[in-house]
Amino acid sequence: MAEVIWGLATSHVPSIGAAMDRGKAEDPNWKALFDGYAPARAWLAEHTPDVAIVVYNDHANGIDLDFVPTFGLGTAERYEVADEGFGRRPVPDVIGDPELSFHLVQSLVDDHFDLTVFQELAVDHGFTVPLSVWTADPGDAWPCPVIPLLVNVIQYPQPTAARCYELGRALGRAIRSYPKDITVGVLGTGGMSHQLAGSRAGFINPDFDSMWMEAIETDPARLAAMSREELIRQAGSEGIELIMWLVMRGAMDDRVTKVHSDYFVPASNTAAGIALFDNRAPSA
């Protein structure tokens, strides 16, 4: 059967991708952020899965704001990189896995998650920046096929943290029920605390972020119990993206091993975090 071997939580700030694309990783304003990625990248390079699933949100680039599903899953053979108004990022298009995608759709629907299914989808920075955090220089192709799992975090009412955690648990069950003997990595994206508009524009909450970084490993149920309003109050209106980390964490075992984590402020006007977890039982 298929197995989730790791989970990676990471921010998807567009300026992180721009910094990589423009060769600014050693720039004094960015070096500490990218140095913080290095241990995770080294470990991931030695643990390439057969397929990855990226839990992300679109930013009105692949999906029109007139049609924002609560949850959606891609079933395409290929996902083009979206042009977000200033040219597409110089990274490869994404190869999908339609067979696994269809299995996930059927399993999740049977598990009471009524998904929107995307047979065509362009993916924006919410998807490609996490892939670049994983693999800085993919060359002509990303390390493996990738399946997009979309979550609405931009239009009210967003799904609750509890619902996202339950989606993750259902995703884990769906992966484990896949009959092929493959390995899967799951990326949960977005966050950390930030607010881009309104009277709290520029808001960042390092204390909350620190709590979240610890609890996502040791007590995700505590995070899942938070209301939508409490998340926005503590993490900012865009910080609610952190619910997508809970999808990743729910797909993993109750006990995981942290490989690496790091926190950087600010990436643009956002708190940026990374947390990498090994889902396999430690060797005796």
Active site residues: 125, 194
Q: Which residues lie closer than 8 Å to 99 by C-beta, 6 or more apart? A: none
From CA 229, how far away is CA 232, in angstroms rounded? 5
* Contact in structure between 246 and 224 (CB atoms under 8 Å): yes
* Helix, strand, coil abundance in the chain, percent, nearest 5: 35, 20, 45
Nearest CA to 185 among 42, 13, 35, 9? 9
* The amino acid at 30: W
Tokens 């309003």 belong to which residue? Answer: 229
From CA 61, how far away is CA 51, in angstroms rounded? 24
* The amino acid at 91: V
3-state secondary structure of 5: strand
* Contact in structure between 41 and 134 (CB atoms under 8 Å): yes
From CA 235, how far away is CA 72, in angstroms rounded? 24
**Tokens coding 52:** 């990855």
* Contact in structure between 216 and 191 (CB atoms under 8 Å): no
DSSP for 28-74, written as a single string: TTTHHHHHHHHHHHHHHHT---SEEEEEE---SSSS-TT---SEEEE
From CA 158, how far away is CA 205, in angstroms rounded? 21
**Tokens coding 21:** 């694309």
